């Protein structure tokens, strides 16, 4: 298995800022990375981009992210509140661009 450490800052749903160094498998997406870092993620759709339980706001580093998937756009469009930098963590595949990013977890509707 190929492992890599990801430095990430997360503003949790309670407003607390946590800086984490998370060791993750190369196949993980951001939702699974956050779960591995002990952040609560219900993921009722199983990471298919349907439930938006993993809705997050990318506060820094988004300029290096790949574009949202069509499914991600469709799901975000159904939410009552989104931001210009809203993403679904389950649709963001692991990559070097995740290191040194800052995100804010959004409470599911």
Q: Is the pLDDT of residue 109 over 80?
A: no
CA 26-27-32 angle, 5° bins = 105
Residues 4/26, Cβ–Cβ less than 8 Å? yes
Per-residue pLDDT of 24-78, as tens digits, reads 665 688 998 888 888 888 888 988 999 999 999 999 998 889 999 999 999 999 9
pTM: 0.89
CATH number of the domain within which 92 lies: 3.10.20.30
Q: Is the pLDDT of residue 79 over 70?
A: yes
List, in order, residues 6 or more apart from 72 with CB less than 8 Å away: 49, 87, 88, 91
The span from the first CA to the last CA of the chain, in angstroms, equals 36
Nearest one of 52, 61, 53 to 9, comparing CA atoms: 61
Domain count, the chain: 1
Residues 6/22, Cβ–Cβ less than 8 Å? yes
- Domain hosting residue 42, numbered range: 3-105
CB < 8 Å & 24+ apart, contacts of 1-7 = 1/25, 1/26, 2/26, 4/94, 5/99, 6/33, 6/94, 6/98, 6/99, 7/99, 7/100
């Amino acid at each position: 298995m190929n492992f890599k450490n990801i430095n990430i800052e997360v503003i949790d749903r309670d407003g607390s800022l946590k800086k984490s160094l998370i060791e993750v498998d190369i196949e993980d997406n951001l939702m699974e990375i956050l779960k591995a870092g002990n952040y609560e993620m219900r993921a009722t759709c199983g990471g298919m981009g349907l439930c938006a339980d993993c809705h997050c706001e990318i506060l820094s580093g988004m300029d290096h992210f790949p574009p949202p998937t069509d499914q991600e756009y469709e799901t975000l469009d159904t939410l009552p509140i989104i931001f210009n930098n809203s993403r679904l963590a389950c649709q963001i595949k692991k990559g070097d661009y995740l290191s040194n990013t800052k995100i804010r977890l959004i409470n599911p509707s």
